[in-house]
Amino acid sequence: MTAPTATEKKNISGNVLFRSRIEICRLMEVLAQERCAISAEVMNHHPFASHFLAIDAVTEHFVVAYSHHKTINSMVLGSPSVEFTASHKELHYTFEGTSPEETRFENQPAIQFALPQTLLLHNRREHPRIPIPEHLSLRCIADEGGYIPFESHITDISHDGLGCLVYDPDINLEKGIILKGCRIILPNGDAVVSDLELRYATPVTLPDGTQANRAGLHFIQTPDEIKKLINHFIQDLDKK
């Protein structure tokens, strides 16, 4: 089983939807062989970041590793279906996993799903979001350079600069608003300042029962310090 060839990749200028079980298994075998990183959003946009482990065409299931967040793993197991995105050699694979079950793979806890009925192959330039480890804190004084500065924290981040803020439920923000001069406090105490554009906002319940708002944002500027921080988290995830 092989990955798409250079010629095939040139021909994928848009979306290619696969329905053939043989083709789907062929593509997913590539993801398994490479232990490709995968991502998904579950229950109120909580990010699940993990990697592909195995596919079994005979029993018709595939296996992914647990993430580093126990609560989010539980959310995945409690979801009837999860839409995954994986990336391999500039191509993106989007597919659904249904009927999640706890399992073990190479003596490590993992999650097993039924094989998808379809798989979408595309050139989408979106990168998976990586959760910030719980023992680190990325505080953010949002809109410090604007009219409504408020305290929040960043929960996840990615190569394209997309992060999420969690903040007080009494603060109402509209889609498309630009938060000026947001000050992000790095783990070493340094600060990085960037404007952030709001992509979406939704109410969430935190693991401790606290009500909050969660906003997906895009960095208008991406300072070098943020790039280094993103690379550090992604490399650390890949090592694990």
Give the pLDDT confidence of 32-46 residue by residue, as tens digits: 999 998 888 887 667
Low-confidence stretches of the chain (pLDDT < 70) are: 1-14, 44-45, 123-131, 133-137, 158-162, 222-223, 225-240
CA dist., res. 98 & res. 86, Å (int): 16
Q: Which domains does the chain have, with CATH numbers?
A: 6-122 (2.30.110.10), 130-239 (2.40.10.220)
C-alpha gyration radius of the chain: 19
Say if CB 164 and CB 214 are below 8 A apart: yes
Say if CB 32 and CB 50 are below 8 A apart: no
Say if CB 171 and CB 151 are below 8 A apart: no
Q: Give the torsion through C-alpha atoms of 77, 67, 159, 82, to 10 deg.
A: -10
Say if CB 199 and CB 216 are below 8 A apart: yes
Structure tokens at 20: 């053939």
Report pLDDT for 123: 67
Report pLDDT for 240: 42
* Burial of residue 156 (number of CB atoms within 10 Å: 0-12, 13-18, 19+): buried
